[in-house]
Amino acid sequence: MKKLLKIIAWPFVFIFGNLYARLSFIGLLFFSFLSHRKANKGENYVVEKEFKVHALTYWNRPFTGGFQAVLSKETILEVSDESKLLSPYFSCRVINWDNFERKYIGEDTDYEGYAGYRLLVPNIYIGWKIKKIN
């Protein structure tokens, strides 16, 4: 009986899981658009509530990697690029955390092909989890 239920339930789990993933991204896009929150290049923000963030690493070779980092309270972020229209994220770098790259990227930063990293922070965090300081 359990085996039969698993066979029958599989398409529903797949469909609803797929819908949930798509709708959560659309919701994030919708709320970031409605909030009119936008980060401009060169602005600095301070983290008021700890949160996880996705990051990309850039290399001078045909490879781009990534990682997740936890940004603790009072971390200062500098916006790298202006937010694009309808983009739910902005890219930034940590400017007051010594050894950030060593902690999350490791010894690969010594490799001559390493070109840096960028954090992807949702626009909806502006005024909620991060606060503008300049």
CA 131/CA 46 separation, integer angstroms: 5
Residues 6+ apart with CB under 8 A from 72: 47, 50
Per-residue confidence (pLDDT) for residue 13, from 0 to 100: 64
Tokens of 95: 């400017």
In angstroms, what CA-CA distances link 51 with 54, 60, 75, 98, 129?
10, 29, 11, 18, 8
The answer to whether 118 and 92 are in contact (CB under 8 A) is yes
Q: Note down pLDDT in tens along the chain; length 134 residues.
A: 667 666 676 666 667 666 666 666 666 666 655 556 788 999 999 999 999 999 998 888 777 788 899 999 999 999 998 777 777 889 999 998 777 887 887 766 667 778 888 999 988 898 889 999 97
Domain ranges, ordered by start, for the chain: 44-132
Per-residue confidence (pLDDT) for residue 113, from 0 to 100: 79
Per-residue confidence (pLDDT) for residue 63, from 0 to 100: 76
- In degrees, rounded to 5, the angle at the alpha carbon of residue 40 between the alpha carbons of residues 39 and 41 is 125
Residue carrying structure tokens 């909030």: 35
Per-residue confidence (pLDDT) for residue 6, from 0 to 100: 64
